[in-house]
Amino acid sequence: MAITIAGIGITKFPESKNPDAERAVLLVLYPFDDVDAPKFKREAYGFTTEVPFNKEPLAINIDYARKIGQSGAFVGKRDYDLKFHFNEQIMENEVVEIIPVDPELKRHFKESLGG
């Protein structure tokens, strides 16, 4: 099942206890849902990149994120299939490959990555 990826965010906190630690996440388009709860109501239309309540953003391998970003291969607001792998260093599943769904974008991806 393909998902729409709006962007990739790489975060680092240089003045923290671990200044070299970085984290990369995918900004995914989620349906923007109505909420009808006693303390909160929302009428919503369209999509959002806000991660749903009680969920975590999708992590992406930092080296791969930089590779597809700096090469220009990644194009935002397009549909991709995802390939996951468990990263023992960060102890979580992360995306190790995004696979474009659109044939034209597949060609662009391949050309941008030098193959």
Strand partners, 65: none
Confidence category of residue 11, pLDDT binned at 50, 70, 90: very high
Mean pLDDT score of the chain: 94
The continuous run of DSSP H or E covering 63 comes out as: helix 62-70
Q: Residues 6 or more apart from 75 whose CB is under 8 A from it?
A: 100, 105, 108
Helix (H) or strand (E) holding 90: none
Q: Say what the pTM is.
A: 0.87
The tens digit of pLDDT for each residue in 16-65 reads 998 888 999 999 999 999 999 999 999 999 999 999 888 889 999 999 99
What is the structure's pLDDT at 92?
A: 87
Given a cut of 90, is residue 1 above it in pLDDT?
Answer: no
**Residue 58 · residue 95 · CB < 8 Å:** yes
Side-chain half-sphere exposure of 100, counting CA atoms within 13 A: 18
- At residue 63, the pLDDT reads 96
